Structure formats: C-alpha cells, structure tokens
Amino acid sequence: MENHEDEITDEVFQMIKEVNSPWVGAHCDVGNGMMAWEEPVEAVRKLAPYAFTTHFKDHIIVHDGEDYRVCGVPVGTGNIDTEECFKILVENSTLTRINVEMCFPYAIHFKREPGTGGVFEVGEGAFKVEQPPYDLNVIKPLDYYYPPEELLEQMIEDQEKGTEQSVRYTLALRDKYCR
C-alpha cells in the first residue's frame, strides 16, 4: 500500500494492520506525504520497517502566483533530506533495491488540509518555498504535464538530465551506506 499523496503514514499503517497479512506491506514513497502535509523523513522512518518497495524522489514547494504547490525536482536537489531517508531505508527496512522515481517536472496541489500530517505551513525544511523550475510567465507549475510546444523539447531534455543526476546521486548514497 502506497502513501500516495492523499494518505498519511498512520492511515497506511492502519490499512496494513487491518489486512494483517505477511503479503501486504508498504510502498514507501519518499515525497508523497508532502501533499498531505507530512514531513518526508518522519514518513520514511515510520514506513521503512513495512517497506516492500519504494519511490525515491525529491520535492520543493513553489508558489505559482495563486497558491503553493509541491514540485518534483531531481533527487538531491530539492528540500527533502534524501540522504537521511536513504540511510533510514538501509538501516530499518529489508529493501535490497531503491527505485528512483523521476518527478521532474511535476507539480501538484496539496490534497489535505494543513496540519493533517503534522506540518501546518510552508516555509521551513522540506516545505521551504523555492523558485519554480520554469518561468511563471511561460508556464505555470500545474501545466508542466501539458507544456506549450516551444517548451516541450527543453522540458524533455531537462527530465533526461534530471534522471541521470538522480541516479548518480542515489548511487553515491549506495556507495556511502551500503558498502
């Protein structure tokens, strides 16, 4: 069961406990809890012992002129303490693989009310507000999946570079914590 943007870790826990089967565990997505106002390191800490698989990614918070959005960026370049998340997964889970999920460019609105997952406002830590990856006069974050024709090639190139950067970063963590 994945903590997929709407659920907080405690809700995923509750479902796993209710099913009560050795065949049911957690898909620990490092960034998804942010959409429910949950601090990523705490979510990973809670889910790691139950994790069968993971999505290892990074996020920032951006303001698009209307509201705050959670925005995917290459792993290691955002505000999630991905090194600490990786370390927790190595030390507290039975995982033998880390699945890098490329969420750049991606942006989404918050799915729950502030405070649902324990964080009440943007501004610090994983919820620090950063500049959007693209000029707001050219494209708004919620439009990243449907870019204007003149930006499409650039965004594809940026995603490819971001994927390579994310993999290099994750391999460096592997070399640091798994050898």
Compute the distance between CA of residue 76 and CA of residue 101 in angstroms, rounded to an integer: 12
Q: Are 73 and 162 in contact (CB under 8 A)?
A: yes
pLDDT digits (tens, 9 = 90+) for 101-139: 998 989 999 999 999 999 999 999 999 999 999 999 999
**70: how many CB neighbours lie within 10 A of its CB?**
26
Q: Indicate the pTM of the whole model.
A: 0.95
Name the token pair of 129: 């507000």
Closest CA to 101 of 72, 126, 133, 61: 72
| 3-class secondary structure, 129 | strand
Compute the distance between CA of residue 92 and CA of residue 73 in angstroms, rounded to an integer: 26
The radius of gyration of the chain from alpha carbons, rounded to an integer in Å, stands at: 16
Is the pLDDT at 179 greater than 80, yes or no?
no
> What pLDDT is recorded for position 63?
98
Q: Please, which residues have CB within 8 angstroms of residue 132's CB and are 6 or more apart in sequence?
A: 62, 63, 64, 71, 107, 141
Tell me the β-bridge partners of 71: 60, 107
pLDDT digits (tens, 9 = 90+) for 132-178: 999 999 999 999 999 999 999 999 999 999 999 999 999 999 999 99
Q: In what order do the strands lie in the sheet with 106-108?
A: 106-108, 68-73, 58-63, 129-130
